[in-house]
Structure 1
Amino acid sequence: MSESTEASRPGVPNDAAPIKAVPVRHYGRWIAGVIILFLAFIVIQSVITNQALKWPVVGSYLFDSRILHGLQNTLLLTVLSMVIGIVGGILLAVMRLSPNPLMSGAASIYIWLFRGTPLITQLIIWNFLALAYPRVGLGIPFGTTFVSWDTNTLITQLTASLLGLGLNEAAYMAEIVRGGIQSVDGGQLEAASALGMSRGKTLRRIILPQAMRVIIPPTGNETISMLKTTSLVVVIGYFELMQVVRTIYSQNYETVPLLITAAAWYLFMTSVLTVIQYYIEKHFSRSSSQATATQAKWGSRMLGFRFGRGREGGVSQ
């Protein structure tokens, strides 16, 4: 169509200007942003200028040797409890997915029992286990006992804390691991069986690397939650961060500054764990992509194909 014909069409101006796009103005967002900034300014100003918070006292106790010792015990509890929880969770998840009804039933009862009772109750039970079992030992049921120990000596406050936190965490980790394993396509297991791989090797080399993409985020959340949950062992008197804080403010009555000190350390440690979790998730996300590519390569080999460049630059078969 010629320019003269286009210009003679009705409704088309001869000097048509290009359309000018006008961005939509979101006044509600600006108003909400201003309100949030105003409220944040009020809160920060109140926290900084409030004399009752006693920031100099907070600073003097932040690196106190007793606080640092309690912090060390808190980190120790967190690491050991999560190791117990993760190892136990993997075993329970494998048992729960087992075709053996006894193994599956035992794992289900364990998960039901430890998830169905409060953690603080479990801690107290482990700490006072000697009231029900003064001695624990190994031997023949209803027969001879070969070796036994005094329960109070065997289960210290640290042991009771680890048993309560770790065994409880294992029940939750079992469901996380089970969900991650079940998220992997069942065809992966069939392909591995066709290649002659054992179930254990299939779990290590194929299933778990792909399931980690699903397992890692909630595991990171459980670790951060465990760091804060360790404060519950204060009920059995173990010397961790909150117990140290309670001991100090019961002597000098500086309750608020010492609680702020504990909160500051918890915030710092959870921030560090959050950064670590981010990089671990990033690593396993990349590993999962590589594992998927490897499975595609193996699947092609099963069908009789092999990858490589032919003499003509194409894919040889």
Structure 2
Amino acid sequence: MTESLVLAAPTGPSGPPAPAERVRPLRRPGRWLATGVVLVLASQAVHGLLTNPFYQWDRFAYWFLRPVILDGLLITLQVAAYSAVLGLVGGVLLALARLSANPVLRSVSWTYVWLLRSVPLIVVLLFLYNLGALYPTLSIGVPFGPAFLTFDESRPAPDMVIAVVGLSLAEAAYAAEVVRAGLLSVDQGQHEAAAALGLPGRYRFTRIVLPQALRAIVPSYVNLLIGLVKATSLVFYVSLLDLFGSVQSLAGTYSGDVVPLLLVATAWYVILTSLISVVQFYVERHYARGALRTLPPTPAQRIRAALRELRVRFRKETAR
């Protein structure tokens, strides 16, 4: 015979169950006060931004889609895309060399990362821009002996090549540390379990270690990618008219439109970084499968859930 615990409903003075009281949410006056202050400050900022004649929004609208601006934007996208791919490839190679058992590879990788992270990017770009004057010829051969290949550096490389190479060299140094940290974040037991199953080393890395490491790599690398998009503004100093370079050139010609032109550049950089953040969300959501019980909702799912909640509340209010 089994015993069961039965909870009796609360009873009133005369015996029958008392009516259930409505559960009321906890009052949070501090939260409402902070929300009100934030809304007031945000509305004042938006009002000042839209009504201040100093910003010249009519000139902003004029310049926003001008061909010269779009041409500079295209160059920014090209430089950022090439540098991101080459920087990531270089970062992966440097990270693997840093984790290698070979002391020479470890030392060279560490020295490269230390040096390129210590030197400002503008210095790297200017050094490459003047490389032909510093080294008229480059050769590959035996040290202090005959040269097998010789390159004539008296002719300067195209500005696009200089910009991509400079940004890629710097990006690889930062990406190497991001990739190395992501690989080290994988639990050692995963390596041991895969080795105990007799899986080949390449299979262990591509199918077990790397997917788990990407959960830590993606957010940090996207930060680097956003910084890379903004760092493309420095290629103006090596005579490449990207988005910022086009704005600077136009501002020198149209001195009365300096502020709206800077706002145009700001708006395009915000758009680019926002698109990268959207891609980051879906990539992180993809690699979160298997690590989270419930995947984070997409913006569309959040909107549908909010509309569903509003419909439920409306029905409850109309049913009273």
TM-score normalised to structure 1 length: 0.81
Letter in 1 for 2:224: E
Q: Partner of 1:239: helix, strand, or coil?
A: coil
Q: Partner of 1:153: helix, strand, or coil?
A: coil
CA distance in 2, matches of 1:102, 1:263: 44
Letter in 1 for 2:265: A
Residues 97 and 43 (structure 1 numbering): CA distance in 2 closer, same or farther, change over 3 Å?
same
Deviates further, 93-102 or 29-38: 29-38
Once the two structures are superposed, residues 89-137 of structure 1 have per-residue CA deviations (whole angstroms, 9 ceiling, x without a partner) of: 1111111111111111111111111111111111111111123211223
Q: Does 1:257 align with 2:260?
A: yes
Aligned partners of 2:116 and 2:173 also within 8 Å: yes
Q: 2:270 is matched with which residue?
A: 267
Q: 2:103 aligns with which of 98, 101, 112?
A: 101
Deviates further, 136-145 or 17-26: 17-26
Q: 1:156 aligns with which of 155, 158, 166?
A: 158
Q: Does 1:191 align with 2:226?
A: no
Q: Does 1:242 align with 2:241?
A: no
Once the two structures are superposed, residues 216-263 of structure 1 have per-residue CA deviations (whole angstroms, 9 ceiling, x without a partner) of: 111112111111111122222211100000001100111001000011
1:31-70 equivalences in 2 (<5 Å)? 31-70=33-72
CA distance in 1, matches of 2:46, 2:235: 32
Residues 234 and 27 (structure 1 numbering): CA distance in 2 closer, same or farther, change over 3 Å?
same
Residues 131 and 30 (structure 1 numbering): CA distance in 2 closer, same or farther, change over 3 Å?
same
**What stretches of structure 1 of length at least 5 have no aligned partner?**
1-5, 291-317
CA distance in 2, matches of 1:17, 1:200: 67
Aligned partners of 1:134 and 1:151 also within 8 Å: yes
Q: 1:298 is matched with which residue?
A: none
CA distance in 2, matches of 1:212, 1:88: 17
Q: Partner of 1:155: helix, strand, or coil?
A: coil
Q: 1:180 is matched with which residue?
A: 182
What is the Cα deviation at residue 20 of structure 1? 6.4
Deviates further, 245-254 or 16-25: 16-25
Q: 1:313 is matched with which residue?
A: none
Residues 280 and 240 (structure 1 numbering): CA distance in 2 closer, same or farther, change over 3 Å?
same
What is the Cα deviation at residue 30 of structure 1? 2.0
Aligned partners of 1:127 and 1:156 also within 8 Å: no
Q: 2:115 is matched with which residue?
A: 113
Letter in 2 for 1:260: L
Aligned partners of 1:58 and 1:261 also within 8 Å: yes
Once the two structures are superposed, residues 130-173 of structure 1 have per-residue CA deviations (whole angstroms, 9 ceiling, x without a partner) of: 23211223333323334333325353322221122111111111
Aligned partners of 1:209 and 1:287 also within 8 Å: no
Q: 1:171 is matched with which residue?
A: 173
CA distance in 1, matches of 2:183, 2:138: 37
Residues 20 and 197 (structure 1 numbering): CA distance in 2 closer, same or farther, change over 3 Å?
closer
Q: Partner of 1:286: helix, strand, or coil?
A: coil
Q: Does 1:286 align with 2:289?
A: yes
Aligned partners of 1:93 and 1:175 also within 8 Å: yes
Deviates further, 199-208 or 14-23: 14-23
Letter in 1 for 2:221: T
CA distance in 2, matches of 1:36, 1:190: 51
Residues 206 and 288 (structure 1 numbering): CA distance in 2 closer, same or farther, change over 3 Å?
farther
1:12-31 equivalences in 2 (<5 Å)? 22-31=24-33
Aligned partners of 2:141 and 2:148 also within 8 Å: yes
Aligned partners of 1:133 and 1:151 also within 8 Å: yes
Once the two structures are superposed, residues 162-204 of structure 1 have per-residue CA deviations (whole angstroms, 9 ceiling, x without a partner) of: 1221111111111111111111122332333334433233212
What is the Cα deviation at residue 287 of structure 1? 6.4
Deviates further, 206-215 or 134-143: 134-143
What is the Cα deviation at residue 285 of structure 1? 1.6
Aligned partners of 1:114 and 1:171 also within 8 Å: yes
Identity %: 38
Q: Partner of 1:259: helix, strand, or coil?
A: helix
Once the two structures are superposed, residues 47-66 of structure 1 have per-residue CA deviations (whole angstroms, 9 ceiling, x without a partner) of: 11111211111111111111
**What stretches of structure 2 of length at least 5 have no aligned partner?**
1-9, 294-320
Aligned partners of 1:111 and 1:172 also within 8 Å: yes
